[in-house]
Chains A and B, each alone.
Chain A
Amino acid sequence: MASRSERRNVCVVGVGHADGPHATGRQPYQLIAQGFGRALADAGLTKDRVDGLASAGHTGMHEVAVAEYLGLRPAWLDSTSCGGSSFEFHAHHAYRAIEAGDVDVVAICYGSNQLTANGRTLGTGGAGPRGMQPPGPMKYEFPTGLTLVGAYAMAARRHMHEFGTTPEQLASISVQMREHAARNPSAMYRDPITVDDVLASPLIADPLHKLDCCVISDGGCCVLLAAEEIATDLRWSSNPVFVRGASGGTTHHSIQGMNDMTRTAAAEAGRRAFAAAGIRPADVDVFCSYDSFTYTVLVMLEDLGFAPKGEGGAFVADGNLRLGGALPTNPDGGGLSCTHPGMRGLFLIAEATRQLRHDAGDSQVRDAAVAVCNGSGGWLSTQGTVVLGTEAR
């Protein structure tokens, strides 16, 4: 363990994906175990070196159950559960705990059989809260019939009103993600689509069409973070990936609490994370953006400073998200085309790591040195930003 006075560098040392996007028959813990085992093998670590565990699920003491299931007795736990961005918060907290010397190796784990268990219903009611009272502010929102997709749609509509953003511009995000998925053999949907295809797909909640919405899949993922002194003995020591900075924030829970639907907490989280990492938006080679919906990407691009507020529509329509574009985004195809098992935040860190190791094959962003992951949870409610790089800060 490090002394209190020295700050250690922190690396991503292992990444593992569970089977997906279709894993019919596998339970969530099985998917977690599969991802964990593959991440350990990827790192060249054994599980007895793991002394910290983070996970988010949908039940109390989830991370403790994961520890028992995997046969771990961690000294450090994080169960921050703020939707899809939970894992960026976990990475932030783990990075600081490792940096400080509280813990050496943290496993961040997630697994879900969303598709198998609930079909394609996540954003439009799902099994629904039948038989139970919705918690907190949802008590007032649920009786209106608003859906998860509807909450994002309302925010997108406001952005269109204030800035003239068009459905075509939003659709161009889906088109570019699909181009990336076409290069990725493990992506869920790989056939090319056009802006017209997106606009011709059924409206789910105006102005969002079916193809403005992410896929629903099964899957799991594990990311291992460790102190640099440990990383230097591991498998990827010649292509290290460092955590350079991270932050998070929240503005609301239910969409009714989002005072300004055109601005998210990513503006503040990003500013803090970029400052900690010592980077500016122009330094970013790869952007791993939560893309639950096309609008999620658009508002995040603006809030993180990749495009001025209100100009995200023109930015995406210009093709900047493509491989070879100004800001290659989600080279794996993202949640819109690759995989989205309920919560996607951990997959962003996995993809950024693959890119920074220059191990991404046909999806590789050339000479990638700085990657930003931005997770979004709830209904644009929580935002977590993690900056990774091939150099320590």
Chain B
Amino acid sequence: MNADWNDNPAWVVPVPNDEDREYWEGAGRGELRIQRCRDCGLHQHYPRAVCSHCGGDAIEFVTASGLGTIYSFTVIRKNGIPPFRDRLPFVVAAVDLEETGARILASMPNLAPQDARIGGRVRAAFRPVGDTLGFVDFEAIE
């Protein structure tokens, strides 16, 4: 990973609120915290007050395995905003988590663009930001 990935100017540092603090602080601890619906059993990312699948409100946070599969990806080759413009090119993937119902969008700082493929197995990796928070990245499983 390029050192630039740990250089996060103020405008990309998340400002947690009561609804999503668990997600950002979980990532700071090295845990991928997603939500599970006790009514329908499906999962979702990002935190919400309702289940986006069944509409119920019996929502609980659970720690995901961090394992998933690339549903699709792109290689960002142009982005005018720092710090991203200093990281080019990089892969961004939509990852379907092992926990049914949850998809997460994440950067893959350690994956060479030519090695990215749909269906590839990936695992969460955590990148600290601020004092207690974290970003959830993904890396390829060999």
Interface residues of chain A, those whose CB is within 8 Å of chain B, are: 121, 124-126, 128-133, 137, 139-147, 149-150, 153-155, 157-158, 161, 202-208, 254-256, 259, 261
Provide the bound-state CA to CA distance between A144 and B74, in Å: 12
A-side contacts of B81, CB under 8 Å: 125-126, 128, 130
Minimal Cβ-Cβ distance residue in A for B5 = A145
B-side contacts of A161, CB under 8 Å: 72, 118
Provide the bound-state CA to CA distance between A255 and B135, in Å: 18
B2 to chain A, nearest CB (A): 12
Question: B interface, how many residues as a size bin?
Answer: 20 to 34
Query: B78 touches which one: A130, A139, A142, A147 (CB < 8 A)?
Result: A147
- Can you name 19 A-B pairs with beta carbons within 8 Å? A128-B11, A132-B11, A139-B14, A140-B104, A144-B92, A145-B90, A146-B76, A150-B92, A153-B74, A154-B74, A158-B118, A202-B78, A205-B74, A205-B78, A208-B74, A254-B105, A256-B45, A256-B105, A261-B72
B71 is an interface residue with CB less than 8 A from chain A: yes
B29 is an interface residue with CB less than 8 A from chain A: no
Chain B interface secondary structure, helix, strand, loop or mixed? mixed
B67 is an interface residue with CB less than 8 A from chain A: no
B87 is an interface residue with CB less than 8 A from chain A: yes
Count of CB-CB pairs between chains A and B under 8 Å: 104
A260 to chain B, nearest CB (A): 10
* CB contact list, B92-107 vs A, under 8 A: 92, 94, 103-107
B-side contacts of A141, CB under 8 Å: 105
Residue among A145, A146, A154, A254 with the most chain B CB within 10 A?
A145
Provide the bound-state CA to CA distance between A78 and B23, in Å: 37
B77 is an interface residue with CB less than 8 A from chain A: yes
A-side contacts of B20, CB under 8 Å: 139
B73 near A154 with CB under 8 A, answer yes
B76 near A157 with CB under 8 A, answer no
Q: Mark B46-61, 1 if CB is under 8 A from A, else 0.
A: 1000000000000000
B42 is an interface residue with CB less than 8 A from chain A: no
A145 to chain B, nearest CB (A): 4
B40 is an interface residue with CB less than 8 A from chain A: no
A128 near B105 with CB under 8 A, answer no
B-side contacts of A144, CB under 8 Å: 92, 105-107
CB contact under 8 A between A203 and B77, given known A128-B11, A143-B135, A254-B105: yes
CB contact under 8 A between A140 and B105, given known A145-B90, A157-B74: yes
B24 to chain A, nearest CB (A): 9
B15 is an interface residue with CB less than 8 A from chain A: yes
B135 near A150 with CB under 8 A, answer no
Residue among A130, A142, A147, A259 with the most chain B CB within 10 A?
A147
Query: A206 touches which one: B12, B75, B107 (CB < 8 A)?
Result: B75
A-side contacts of B77, CB under 8 Å: 202-206
Q: A128-B81, A146-B92 are in contact. List 20 more A-B contacts (CB 8 A).
A: A121-B80, A128-B80, A130-B9, A133-B14, A133-B15, A137-B46, A140-B45, A140-B46, A147-B76, A153-B74, A158-B72, A204-B77, A205-B76, A206-B74, A206-B77, A208-B74, A255-B105, A256-B94, A256-B105, A261-B71
